[in-house]
Structure 1
């Protein structure tokens, strides 16, 4: 579809990662499947029809059935955002339905309470998607595994050392899948137990680190023990700069692709009894483990290669039990025992 190719070309031109472009392409394919089933031409769509699409997508109805009977809010939000950007791009270019308005004026929305430091904030009017539910934060949080208990099951379910190393890169180091797939052997320093994360635009598999600046991740012993076993075993005779390569599927020795990695992780998860496992779930678990260990948001953000501490908030998942334990161990600091003060003159008698 020419209109989709034009949009995806623009996404690449503005520096979106290959993974993001693939996601947009996948989301738009779902939208176009619905358009074809309804007999609607893309540039004649109206807002009512678009709302019908979102309803079908959410419920998992034909022609967009879902295995679970419905889709999570985060999935619906991602697909809706892709469709909105697609139409906004073509509207600016003078194509598509010019009267299809997908954003609304935030000044006409219910006012929110000002933050404590509102007078210091740089406030700028921001367009709000008409497809988003007003005044509601997404209730969805990415699931995390049961830390070492589940991770031991995953390692046991993995059939190769390469697969175990990939699991470790995401669980022990907190790497994004693109960062892991883009690793070269020269990025690993076993002597110092460090891994350098670099953004490369020329990776043959399209792998890309979301962070534009390079950063170092300290690695635990388990990661480099697996790496040593991998080097001496499965890739001893493979000539490739890439750490994660194909072991059996052609081209053997070629860098592992995104789709291969996602399918592999999901398959290992199913074998271990962890449904719908994905690479990002392991990254979230890593950050949550750090939070439970007492790391601050700034420290977690630095570990994950994030520029701002607030960026780590989305990765931190603390259960009510964690908060109860935190209260139990710190309540003596928050609510000190009241000191007994003796009034001046007490015990001295009346004068």
Structure 2
């Protein structure tokens, strides 16, 4: 018999099951559902997802939260504890397991997906494969390590604490949240009664929340950006890269624009912001609109759909499909592979911010 509170559970011998999954439904009302290792839909997670959807969270947020819940459900299956009977000892062991355990290898992938995962996880340079956690010789960025990153651990702790708070308020979960606040806090959010005249002080939120090391935003140097731009294989990809680095928009925001949202005359492009869903017109570089025109002329001759309400970005081959974030990311991964780099689409946003901060005309405006 294992004493769940005293810490006598041997986590080194625990094997997490690979059963269970987060399933995409294709239904905008319920974009994802959590399937437990026993094959049943987790009703508690479905209720939480509906709450998130009603509060305005996009499908990407529900997917992110769902992956954290999937890890927790697999852990509960391994220790044979139901979710509503989990204790703080179980939560403590779970967070300890996240710190010590290796990330599971993806299973059931296609050869193309395995090749892409190997690039993202190990940052393969031209001279050979890097060890997990080693810096890339071109970008200087660390390759993904075998362990879960502190940011992943912190995100998981926050999501699970909110999940149990939701069910505690609803009366469908345990009375005591297994993921408690730090001992220095009793309730409420961090800096709830902060005096705006005083500087913010570090304040821990969750008791089992790990410390996240500060990271310096990494931009793409101009010479490396030129190499990246030359390696692109189509005018569409060149237009995308030019818009990303000149507007500073998120990748998904720019991919969601329609054909009428591009205004070459004023050199503006309209996007819908991720969090606020506000419609905002962003200035872009003249080169971006030149590459956009070249892409449109080429694709219109091949029969690409036209119309103001039609998406601006399409796949390059028939049947025509709107370009998704995952397809754009794969394009960027392939270009990185040819250079032996591991830049990400988010690095383009940091690069845009760096260039805008150093542009005297942008600072004056």
Q: Could you say what secondary structure the match of 1:216 adopts?
A: strand
| Shift of residue 101, structure 1, vs aligned partner | 4.5
* Residue in 2 that maps onto 1:248: 317
Shift of 1:23: 1.6
**One of 146, 149, 158 as aligned partner of 1:81:** 158
Map 1:158-197 onto structure 2 (within 5 A).
Answer: 158-197=232-271
CA-CA distance at 1:239 after TM superposition: 0.8
Cα offset, 1:244, TM superposition = 1.7
In structure 2, stretches of 5+ residues that fail to align are 1-41, 107-120, 122-143
1:131-169 per-position Cα deviation (integer Å, ceiling 9, x unaligned): 324xx5x32426524332222222233333222322233
Post-superposition shift, 1:64? 7.6
Structure label with greater radius of gyration = 1
Measured in 2, the distance between the counterparts of 1:284 and 1:215 equals 19
Q: 2:50 aligns with which of 9, 19, 36?
A: 9
For 1:198 and 1:283, the matched residues in 2 are separated by 16
Tell me what 2:337 maps to.
270
- Corresponding residue of 1:290: 356
Does residue 1:25 correspond to 2:66, yes or no?
Answer: yes
1:27–1:82: 8 Å Cα contact kept in structure 2? Answer: yes
TM normalised by structure 2 equals 0.65
Count of aligned pairs: 276
- How is 1:141-160 mapped onto 2 (pairs within 5 angstroms)? 141=215, 143-160=217-234
Could you tell me how far 1:4 is from its partner in structure 2?
Answer: 1.7
Question: Given the superposition, is the C-alpha separation of residues 84 and 270 from structure 1 closer, same or farther in structure 2, using an over 3 Å criterion?
Answer: farther
1:210 aligns with 2:308: no
Change (3 A) 1:107 1:51: closer
- Partner Cα separation in structure 2 for residue 63 and residue 292 of structure 1: 42
Give the CA deviation at 1:294: 6.1
In structure 2, the CA distance between the partners of 1:161 and 1:295, relative to structure 1 (3 Å rule), is: same
Match of 2:16 in 1: none
Alpha-carbon distance in structure 2 between the residues aligned to 1:165 and 1:48: 53
Question: Quick check: 2:264–2:289 contact (8 Å CA) kept in 1?
Answer: yes
1:92-131 equivalences under 5 Å are: 92-104=169-181, 108=185, 118=195, 120=197, 128-131=205-208
- Secondary structure of the residue that 2:269 maps to in structure 1? strand
TM, length-normalised to structure 1: 0.67
Pick the structure with more helix per residue.
Answer: 1
What secondary structure is seen at the aligned counterpart in 1 of 2:293? helix
Q: Secondary structure at the match of 1:130?
A: coil
2:103 and 2:146 in contact (8 A); partners too: no
> Which whole-Å CA distance do the structure 2 matches of 1:260 and 1:38 have between them?
38
Asked whether 1:280 is paired with 2:356, we answer no
Change (3 A) 1:29 1:162: farther
CA 1:27–1:107 in 2, change beyond 3 Å: closer, same or farther? closer
Q: Secondary structure in 2 aligned to 1:234?
A: helix
Contact 1:185 1:242 in 2 (8 A): yes
CA distance in 2, matches of 1:191, 1:292: 26
Larger CA deviation: 176-185 vs 31-40? 31-40
- Which segments of 5 or more consecutive residues in structure 1 lack a partner in the other structure? 200-208, 304-351
